[in-house]
Homo-oligomer: A and B are copies of this chain.
Amino acid sequence: MSDAMTQYVTPQEQQIVSANHAVTKIDVTPVAFADPPLLNSVGVHEPFALRAIVVVHTASGYYGLGETYGDEAHVARLRRAAEELIGVDPFNLNLVSRLVSRSLLEDDGQGGHGTGGMVTTTSLDDRVLSAFNVACLDIQGKILGLPVSTLLGGAVRAQVDFSGYLFYKWASHPGHGEDKWGVALDPSGIVEQARKMVDEYGFKALKLKGGVFPPEQEAAAIEALHQEFPDIPLRLDPNGVWSIPTAIQIGHRLESSLEYLEDPCLSIADNAAVRSEISLPLATNMCVVSFDDLPPALDAKAVDIVLSDHHFWGGLSRSSLLAGIAKTFGLSLSMHSNSHLGISFAAMIHLASATENIDYACDTHWPWKLVEDDVIVPGVLEIRDGSVKVPTAPGLGVELDTQALERMHQQYLDCGLQQRNDTGYMQSIDPTFELKTPRW
């Protein structure tokens, strides 16, 4: 194409339609919220989970909300991108994406993955773009009087189903009092936790985070859940720490009790080797985590289900693209979760409501968060009978509570954490703990 054709439309040229709404200020605020000692393959959740809250302000007085990882390196990138976005038209999402990428041109890409070392190959550009894309859509919706679901093509369902997310856990963080969930370190503890989850939230699907205990023990936990909840679809996620033979063996064992098995191994090739030997569908949020992973994963027939996550797939617009790709290439789709607050929850709900091919109840960490620990005005998002009603107010449909934001930022400063480090925290408690992949 000629130079003229590849030249981007400047904010000046866009002023014809949206002159009054240029971005004037972006606040990036790291916050911390209490998190239980949830165990996983790389260690254990620290007493506080970190997030960054992005608030984009326009000349017209609107603000839009985004939420993303709170790791120090990620926050620094968000702030560099934010500088680049001053003056941009929040209706030009393509330009926002371009400018975010420009802010990252010199970036070495080290650190700030936000997932405690479990997923480190996500796209840097998409990871940083995400919260700005969400915030711009929130602004658009508020200005236009449309919910974000409509901006994503229109809600195809009025409520979104979520699964109950079970974790092995200690009774408490060392030195803290016991939390309301109690201990869960064996099958009966997991069943007890599941019973609480189902009773309180009405979940109609359950997922167990595995990769913590020897696979035989985790398989026994799934079997115990299946016996206790015979009508509830179950998933197990060992977070990529099984060997191929282990995954095949446990996969066979659980064929009649699991809905799908998630990331038994870490790589596309290893999961493909497992998938060719078992009849269970495989899901992933570890080996297909960016658009670049899609062609090789499809070639290898590695997975059946992609667990999308707008935090690393570039926001809501690009997650819609992922959904279209999944449909075109015969992949099923559901949604992955990390510890999150209400802004992310609202974004996940709008996306799922406007995505025709969400084929399974989505994951969420929502129940693990204290109700009072959030930056949004409470009352909009509630899990009942395992689903959440899609907000119908303009934008994301949630409002920032500025005092809560301040309080949670202070909590961030006070807790002293600057990046998620499940491994380091575990090793501070159990010096013998080692990272190992595959572990079994």
Chain A residues near B (Cβ < 8 Å): 1-2, 4-9, 13-14, 16-18, 89, 91-96, 98, 144-147, 150, 153-161, 204, 291, 294-295, 298, 317-318, 321, 324-325, 327-330, 353-354, 356, 358-361, 386-387, 392, 394
Name the distance in Å between A52's Cβ and chain B's nearest Cβ.
24
* Chain B residue at smallest Cβ distance from A89: B154
> Can you list 17 A-B contacts with CB-CB less than 8 angstroms, sorted by A residue number?
A2-B386, A4-B161, A5-B157, A5-B160, A5-B161, A6-B157, A7-B158, A8-B157, A17-B147, A17-B394, A91-B146, A91-B150, A94-B153, A94-B155, A94-B356, A321-B328, A324-B324
Besides A14-B154, A18-B150, A93-B154, 9 other A-B contacts (C-beta < 8 A): A5-B387, A14-B155, A17-B146, A91-B154, A92-B153, A95-B156, A294-B329, A321-B321, A321-B328
Do A387 and B93 form a contact, CB below 8 Å, given A17-B150, A324-B321?
no
Do A153 and B1 form a contact, CB below 8 Å, given A7-B158, A13-B158, A18-B146?
no
* Chain B residue at smallest Cβ distance from A355: B94
The residues of B that contact A204 with a CB separation of less than 8 Å are: 2
A16 B392 Cβ-Cβ under 8 A: yes
Cα A291 to Cα B5 in complex, Å, equals 27
A328 B291 Cβ-Cβ under 8 A: yes
B94 A156 Cβ-Cβ under 8 A: yes
A153 contact from B5, B294, B317, B361, Cβ within 8 A = B317
Do A153 and B93 form a contact, CB below 8 Å, given A2-B204, A4-B387?
yes
Cα A14 to Cα B149 in complex, Å, equals 11
Cα A354 to Cα B89 in complex, Å, equals 14
Cα A2 to Cα B156 in complex, Å, equals 13
B93 A5 Cβ-Cβ under 8 A: no
Cα A156 to Cα B7 in complex, Å, equals 7
A328 B294 Cβ-Cβ under 8 A: yes
Do A4 and B154 form a contact, CB below 8 Å, given A94-B356, A328-B291?
no
A161 B2 Cβ-Cβ under 8 A: yes
The residues of B that contact A325 with a CB separation of less than 8 Å are: 321, 324-325, 328
The residues of B that contact A91 with a CB separation of less than 8 Å are: 146, 150, 154
B155 A92 Cβ-Cβ under 8 A: yes
Cα A357 to Cα B415 in complex, Å, equals 45
The residues of B that contact A5 with a CB separation of less than 8 Å are: 157, 159-161, 358, 361, 387
Cα A262 to Cα B245 in complex, Å, equals 48
Cα A423 to Cα B48 in complex, Å, equals 73
Do A295 and B7 form a contact, CB below 8 Å, given A13-B158, A92-B150?
no
The residues of B that contact A394 with a CB separation of less than 8 Å are: 17
The residues of B that contact A18 with a CB separation of less than 8 Å are: 146, 150
Cα A91 to Cα B291 in complex, Å, equals 28
Cα A161 to Cα B330 in complex, Å, equals 35
The residues of B that contact A387 with a CB separation of less than 8 Å are: 2, 4-5
* Chain B residue at smallest Cβ distance from A321: B324
Name the distance in Å between A37's Cβ and chain B's nearest Cβ.
32
Do A154 and B328 form a contact, CB below 8 Å, given A17-B147, A145-B17?
no
* Chain B residue at smallest Cβ distance from A294: B328
Name the distance in Å between A402's Cβ and chain B's nearest Cβ.
26
B145 A354 Cβ-Cβ under 8 A: no
B9 A156 Cβ-Cβ under 8 A: yes
The residues of B that contact A329 with a CB separation of less than 8 Å are: 294-295
The residues of B that contact A295 with a CB separation of less than 8 Å are: 298, 328-330
Cα A353 to Cα B89 in complex, Å, equals 16
Cα A222 to Cα B394 in complex, Å, equals 56
